[in-house]
Amino acid sequence: MTASKILLLIIDGVGDRPCECLGNKTPLQAANLPNLDELAKTGICGIMDPISPGIRAGSDTSHLSLLGYPPQKYYTGRGPLEAAGCGISMEPGMIGFRANYATMDEGLITDRRAGRIEDTKEISRAVKEGVDLSKYGVTIEFEPGTGHRAALALKGAGLSAAVTTNDPKKTGAAMLTIKPTDDTAEAKRTAEVCNEFVRQANAILEKHPVNAARAASGKNPANAVLIRGAGEMGVYEPFEEKHELSGSVVAAAALIAGIGVSVGLERIPVLPTTPLSEQVSLVLKEFDKKDFVLFNIKNADEYGHDGKAMEKKEFLEKIDAAIKPLMERSDLLIAVCGDHSTPCTIKEHSADPVPLILHGDGVRPDGVAKYDEISCAAGGMCRICGGSLMAVMLDLIDKTHKYGA
Ligand code: ZN
Ligand code: ZN
C-alpha cells in the first residue's frame, strides 16, 4: 500500500555548524538518534534550502515556503500571523500586531516582560472590552499569548500597516510614540489609532486589580502594552483547495500555529510546556480524520539562539525518543526537516540548508543512514528548495496531476 497521508515534522532551527564543544560536530552529528537514523536509513535523504540558497529564513517565511505559499507573495509581516496564532480570527485587511506587557514607571519602561507575568487572561479581557476606538470607526481584538505576550488586531476601513512601534526595545527608556512610516493618510490615521489604543489600554491596566495585587506582593505590574510587527492580513488560498488534503497544525509557538490557521489548517492547541509525548499523541490522533499534519517542535531553535550546543544535542535526543510512535503507522509519508538552521556558533538563523528525510512506502532509499547535516547531503534527494517540498511529498502519495500528456 502506498502512503496516503503526510506528516511534516519540522524541528525548529535544527540545522547547525560544527561546534567546538562537541568535538567539531554539529549537535545532530553528536546526538544519539536511533529513531531518526532509522528513518534516514529506510528513507531518502537530502538537504533543503527552506526558501532558496543564501536566504536566511525566518520561521514564518520558511513555514510559508514549506507549505507551498511563496513568502515573496504571501508574507505581510509577523503581526497578523502571530495574532491568528493567539486565537484572533484574522480577516483579510485587518492589521495585526505582536504585543507584550511591560512595566512602566513614570513614562519609562522598566521591565519589558512585566515581571515575567504568567497569566494575562483577565487583564487582556479588560483591555479588549475596555478600549473604545469607535470614534475612528475601528474595532479591536486583543488576545493573550504565552507569558507576557499578546496580540492586537485592528479592524476598520482606511487602515495601514505602515506604522512604527512604541517599544523602545530597552529598559530605562521612554515608551515611544507610534509614527507613520509613509505619507499616506491611512498610515497617519493608523498611527493615531495605535497611540490612542496604547493610551487607553495603559489607563485600564494602571488601575486594574490584578496589577494592584501584583504591586502589593512586590511584583512588577503589567501596566503598559508594547505593540510591534504591524502587518496587514493577507489572502491565503485554502490549503485543502490548493493541495487537496485536509490538515491540522500542532505547534506550541503561536507564530507557527497562526501560519497554520491562516492557510486553513485546523489548530490543535498545545503549549510550550506540553510534553513531547503528548504532542505526538495529538498528532497521531489527527491522522484518524486528516490527511496532513504540520508538527512543529520548538526549542532546538532557542538553544541555537542561546549558543547552547550541548543542550541542543540533548534536546534533539529527547525529540528522537518521543517520535517513535509516529513511525509505527504505515499509511504515513513522513518528512523530517527544519525550518532553518540556527547555529550555536552564531546564535542566529543562518542560510545553511537543513537536513531532510522523506520516509514512507515507495520512496527510493539511498545510502544515508544518519540524520544530520553532513550525512544527508550525500542522499538521493540531493539539494532541493523548500518551495518544492509539498509537490515532492504529494507526488509520493500519488496526489500530483500530470503536467502535459
Ligand atoms: Zn524557526
Ligand atoms: Zn529562531
- The Cα–Cα gap between 82 and 98 comes to 6
CB distance 232 to 184 below 8 Å: no
Residues within 5 A (CB) of ion ligand 2: 301
Say how many Å lie between the CA of residue 353 and the centre of ligand 1.
13
Of all ligands present, the nearest one to the C-alpha of 346 is 2
* Dihedral sign (CA 37, 40, 46, 51): negative
Res 2: pLDDT: 74
Distance CA 270, CA 272 (A): 7
d(CA 220, CA 113): 9
Please tell me the predicted confidence (pLDDT) of residue 254.
Answer: 94
pLDDT of residue 190: 98
Q: Which ligand is closest in space to the CA of residue 350?
A: 2
How many helices (H) and strands (E) the chain has is answered by 15, 14
Residue 12 CA to ligand 1 centre (angstroms): 4
Q: Which CATH architecture has domain 5-74+236-396?
A: 3-Layer(aba) Sandwich (3.40)
In three-state form (DSSP H/G/I as H, E/B as E, the rest C), the secondary structure along 105-162 is ECCEEEECCCCCCCCCHHHHHHHHHHCCCHHHCCEEEEEECCCCEEEEEEECCCCCCC
Nearest ligand, CA 64: 1
CA of 254 to the centre of ligand 1 (A): 12
Q: According to the model, what pLDDT value does residue 253 have?
A: 94
SS3 390: helix
Which pTM value belongs to this model? 0.94
- One DSSP character per residue, 210-279 reads HHHHHHHTTPPP--EEEEEEEEE------HHHHHS--EEEEESSHHHHHHHHHHTPEEE---TTS-HHHH
What is the CA(305)–ligand 2 centre distance, in A? 6
Spacing, Cα 147 to ligand 2 middle (Å): 18
For residues 194 and 192, what is the distance between their CA atoms, to the nearest angstrom?
5
* 118 Cα–ligand 2 center, Å: 22
Can you state the percent helix, strand and coil of the chain, rounding each to 5? 35, 20, 40
Q: Nearest CA to 342 among 296, 308, 295, 385?
A: 308
Q: Which three cell numbers stand for residue 93?
A: 485587511
Proximal ligand: closest to the CA of 259: 1
204-230 pLDDT per residue, tens: 999 999 999 999 999 999 999 999 999
Q: Identify the pLDDT of residue 1.
A: 54
CB 189 within 8 A of CB 178: no
Q: Residue 326: how many CA atoms within 13 Å on its side-chain side?
A: 33
Residue 83: its H or E element: helix 78-85
| pLDDT tens by residue, 40-92 | 999 999 999 999 999 999 999 999 999 999 999 999 999 999 999 999 999 99
Q: Which residue numbers in the chain have pLDDT < 50?
A: none
The residue ranges of every structural domain in the chain are 5-74+236-396, 82-232
pLDDT one-digit tens code per residue, 224-239: 999 999 999 999 999 9
